[in-house]
């Protein structure tokens, strides 16, 4: 077992370097500052492409987290490029919050206030504060957090409303993307608000923030996790009535370790123990979406029995971490084998061994989804670099240290 873990860790150390070197070598926009908005599957930069706040925040988080774990000064330098671009181009100095997108020259393009984007910016700034130690970085993260609580938090029903106009007025189209339901609340936004608040709490253990994290965890246990199926419900109205039955296998397994990480961060022992049990239940439910080749399918519609037979890059990355997390909870080697199996699938089907980085995904016949981005509004270094960092960290612990109470 020790040899298996050592080999797993060594391969991910190498892959982390491969991923981040790709972004250093291919994505920095020397002419217009920041990073290119879109690069296609063949590594061609698409001129004039918008630059998204989520892409830039995820770049900032990835390079900050990599620096914090490896102490490679190159990563801190790239993180600083991302930080300065976000501060100078995405922060709305007039109304507060984060623009959804700017044009290729950095001018405001889509000025709506999507809570999801603000959450990722808080997440990234909190991680960059750990790397830089600059008080102004933490101040900006706290400002964005307090603004979200003021403008988006539902004081009557709890939870966060999805989106607003630039001026924080109600918005008719709340969707993150065209595929999403136009509903007031979503699992996806709440998962990443929780992720952001957890990281902010590690550098700013504020009492109000702790209460917000605890409330978000109860949002998941009381509303978002379907106790009958073990899957996450994706969309809700304002009063937490379910508005979707779609199953997202990648979000299921991602939630397992993020929920436990949050409970551990606030040292809430009762929630820790409850969520450990829930994590195993969700992990078992996720196995319904695992193909024989070790790849995780994208989504399933129970009402029509329709399986979207695509295997995207990010669910595989989250499966690596989520299954390993379940291994640490249970001590059952089955979950370690599944985590390694997810990585083996990535190596065989998702790594672009010719042009670098990870493909968007593959279809059921194994062919690459070649018309999708290599980098873009949604294709970022966050899921895959984070999987490498998390498993590297966790495989460095012995069995006693691997008890989740130490995380």
Q: Which domains does the chain have, with CATH numbers?
A: 2-406 (1.50.10.10)
Read off the DSSP letter of residue 94: T
122/109 Cα distance (integer angstroms): 21
Instruction: For residue range 133-149, list pLDDT tens digits in order.
Output: 999 999 999 999 999 99
Q: What residues have CB less than 8 Å from 362, skipping those under 6 apart?
A: 295, 310, 311, 349, 350, 368, 369
Instruction: For residue range 188-245, list pLDDT tens digits in order.
Output: 999 999 999 999 999 999 999 999 999 999 999 999 999 999 999 999 999 999 999 9
Average pLDDT score over the chain: 96
Instruction: For residue range 313-372, list pLDDT tens digits in order.
Output: 999 999 999 999 999 999 999 999 999 999 999 999 999 999 999 999 999 999 999 999
Look-up: residue for tokens 């070790």?
A: 294
* Structure tokens given for 143: 């400002």
Characterize the bridge pairing of strands 235-236 and 247-248: unpaired
Identify any residues that bridge with 160 across adjacent strands, giving them in sequence order.
153
Total H helices, total E strands in the chain = 12, 12
Instruction: For residue range 265-324, list pLDDT tens digits in order.
Output: 999 999 999 999 999 999 999 999 999 999 999 999 999 999 999 999 999 999 999 999
């Amino acid at each position: 077992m020790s040899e298996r873990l050592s080999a797993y860790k060594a391969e991910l150390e190498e892959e982390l370097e491969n991923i981040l070197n790709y972004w250093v070598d291919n994505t920095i926009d020397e002419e217009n500052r920041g990073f290119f908005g879109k690069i296609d599957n063949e590594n061609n930069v698409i001129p004039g492409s918008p630059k998204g706040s989520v892409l830039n925040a995820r770049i900032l988080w990835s390079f900050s987290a990599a620096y914090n774990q490896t102490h490679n000064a190159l990563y801190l330098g790239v993180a600083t490029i991302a930080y300065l671009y976000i501060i100078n181009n995405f922060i709305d100095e007039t109304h507060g919050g984060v623009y959804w997108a700017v044009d290729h020259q950095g001018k405001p393009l889509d000025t709506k206030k999507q809570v999801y984007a603000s959450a990722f910016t808080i997440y990234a700034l909190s991680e960059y504060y750990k790397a830089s130690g600059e008080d102004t970085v933490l101040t900006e993260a706290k400002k964005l957090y307090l603004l979200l609580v003021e403008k988006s938090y539902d004081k009557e029903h709890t939870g966060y409303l999805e989106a607003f106009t630039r001026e924080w007025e109600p918005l008719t189209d709340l969707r993150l993307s065209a595929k999403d339901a136009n509903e007031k609340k979503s699992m996806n936004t709440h998962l990443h608000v929780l992720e952001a608040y957890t990281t902010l709490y590690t550098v700013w253990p504020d009492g109000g923030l702790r209460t917000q994290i605890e409330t978000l965890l109860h949002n998941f246990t009381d509303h978002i996790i379907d106790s009958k199926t073990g899957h996450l419900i994706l969309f809700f109205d304002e009063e937490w009535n379910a508005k979707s039955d779609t199953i997202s296998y990648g979000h299921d397994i991602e939630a397992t370790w993020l929920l436990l990480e949050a409970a551990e961060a606030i040292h809430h022992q009762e929630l820790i123990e409850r969520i450990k049990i829930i994590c195993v239940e969700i992990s078992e439910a996720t196995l319904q979406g695992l193909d024989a080749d070790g790849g995780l399918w994208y989504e399933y519609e129970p009402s029509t029995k329709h399986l979207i037979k695509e295997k995207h890059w990010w669910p595989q990355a989250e499966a690596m971490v989520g299954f390993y997390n379940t291994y640490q909870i249970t001590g059952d080697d089955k979950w370690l084998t599944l985590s390694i199996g997810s990585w083996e699938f990535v190596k065989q089907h998702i790594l672009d061994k010719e042009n670098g980085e990870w493909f968007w995904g593959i279809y059921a016949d194994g062919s690459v989804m070649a018309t999708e981005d290599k980098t873009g509004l949604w294709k970022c270094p966050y899921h895959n670099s984070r999987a490498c960092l998390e498993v590297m960290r966790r495989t460095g612990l012995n069995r006693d240290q691997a008890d989740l109470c130490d995380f």
